[in-house]
Amino acid sequence: MRNILIATLLLPLFATAITITNQYIIPADQQVEDEQWIIATVAQPEGIFLNDLTILCANPLFFSGTYEGNINGIAGMETALIGTAKRNVRITGKVVRIEGIIEGNLTLLADTVTISEKASIGGTVRLIADKAIMEGTIEGDLHVTAGTLLTLEGTIGGDAHIQARETLIADGLRVAGDFTYRTDQILIIDPAQVGGTILKDDAGSAVSPFSIAQLKSRGLWLFAAFLVGVLYLLLFPGQAAHATHLIFSAPLKCSLIGFLASGVLPIIGVFCLTSLIGLPTGLFMLGLWGAWVYLSQIITACLIGILVLTFNGAETGRLLLASAIGLLLLSLIGLIPGLGVPIQAVSLWLGMGAILQTIFLKRREPIMIAKHLFTPTFKRKDTE
**How far is Cα 384 from Cα 381, in angstroms, rounded to an integer?**
9
pLDDT for res 382: 38
Task: Between 319 and 54, name the one with better pLDDT.
Answer: 54
pLDDT for res 201: 78
Does 375 have pLDDT greater than 90? no
Does 374 have pLDDT greater than 50? no
Helices (H), the chain: 2-15, 212-235, 237-249, 251-272, 278-311, 319-333, 340-360
pLDDT for res 96: 92
**How far is Cα 164 from Cα 239, in angstroms, rounded to an integer?**
45
Please report, for the chain, how many H helices and E strands are present, in that order.
Answer: 7, 22
Residue spans per domain, the chain: 10-200, 212-360
pLDDT for res 315: 54
Instruction: Count other C-beta atoms under 10 Å from residue 8's C-beta.
Output: 10
Does 65 have pLDDT greater than 50? yes
Close Cβ partners of 328 (under 8 Å, ≥ 6 residues apart) = 222
Q: Where does residue 125 fall: left (phi above 0), alpha (psi -120 to 50 degrees), or beta otherwise?
A: beta
Write the pLDDT tens digit of every residue in 24-60.
Answer: 999 999 999 988 888 888 889 999 999 999 888 878 8
Does 363 have pLDDT greater than 50? no
**How far is Cα 81 from Cα 97, in angstroms, rounded to an integer?**
6
pLDDT for res 16: 46
Range of lowest pLDDT (109-118, 160-169, 373-382): 373-382
CA distances to 2, 14, 68, 284, 345 from 7, in Å: 9, 10, 31, 19, 33
**Residues forming beta bridges with residue 80, ordered by sequence position:** 62, 97
Close Cβ partners of 114 (under 8 Å, ≥ 6 residues apart) = 95, 96, 97, 98, 132, 133, 135
Confidence band, pLDDT 50/70/90 cuts, at residue 212: low
Instruction: Report the relative pairing of strands 174-175 and 198-200 from DSSP bridges.
Output: unpaired
CA distances to 38, 67, 86, 282, 283 from 35, in Å: 10, 11, 15, 23, 19
DSSP 8-state assignment for residue 194? B
Sign of CA pseudo-dihedral 318, 324, 329, 330: positive
Confidence band, pLDDT 50/70/90 cuts, at residue 304: confident
Write the pLDDT tens digit of every residue in 237-278.
Answer: 888 888 888 888 888 888 888 888 877 777 666 666 555 445
Q: Once rounded to an integer, what is the mean pLDDT over residues 339-360?
A: 81
User: Quick check: helix, strand or coil at residue 142?
Assistant: strand
Write the pLDDT tens digit of every residue in 119-131.
Answer: 999 999 999 888 9
Range of lowest pLDDT (68-77, 83-92, 204-213): 204-213
pLDDT for res 39: 83
Q: Once rounded to an integer, what is the mean pLDDT over residues 68-82?
A: 88
**How far is Cα 365 from Cα 384, in angstroms, rounded to an integer?**
9
Asked if 64 contacts 48 with a C-beta cutoff of 8 angstroms, the reply is no
pLDDT for res 32: 92
Confidence band, pLDDT 50/70/90 cuts, at residue 209: low
pLDDT for res 282: 64
Is the pTM value of this prediction over 0.75? no
Task: Between 151 and 344, name the one with better pLDDT.
Answer: 151
Task: Please give the helix or strand (H or E) that residue 60 lies within, else none.
Answer: none
Q: Once rounded to an integer, what is the mean pLDDT over residues 101-106?
A: 95
Instruction: Count other C-beta atoms under 10 Å from residue 363's C-beta.
Output: 12
Does 84 have pLDDT greater than 90? yes
Give the CA angle between residues 339, 342, 344 to the nearest 5°: 100
Q: 308, 304, 341, 326: which is closest to 209 by C-alpha?
A: 341
**How far is Cα 301 from Cα 290, in angstroms, rounded to an integer?**
18
> What b/e string do you get for 196-205 counting C-beta neighbours within 10 Å, with b at 16 or more?
eebeeeeeee
Instruction: For the chain, give the percent of residues with pLDDT over 90.
Output: 28
Range of lowest pLDDT (17-31, 64-78, 255-269, 274-288): 274-288
pLDDT for res 379: 45
Q: Where does residue 16 fall: left (phi above 0), alpha (psi -120 to 50 degrees), or beta otherwise?
A: beta
**How far is Cα 175 from Cα 230, in angstroms, rounded to an integer?**
47
**How far is Cα 32 from Cα 27, in angstroms, rounded to an integer?**
10
Confidence band, pLDDT 50/70/90 cuts, at residue 366: very low
pLDDT for res 103: 95
pLDDT for res 370: 38
pLDDT for res 345: 82
Confidence band, pLDDT 50/70/90 cuts, at residue 11: very low
Q: Once rounded to an integer, what is the mean pLDDT over residues 187-201?
A: 88
Q: Once rounded to an integer, what is the mean pLDDT over residues 338-350?
A: 79
Q: Once rounded to an integer, what is the mean pLDDT over residues 7-15?
A: 41
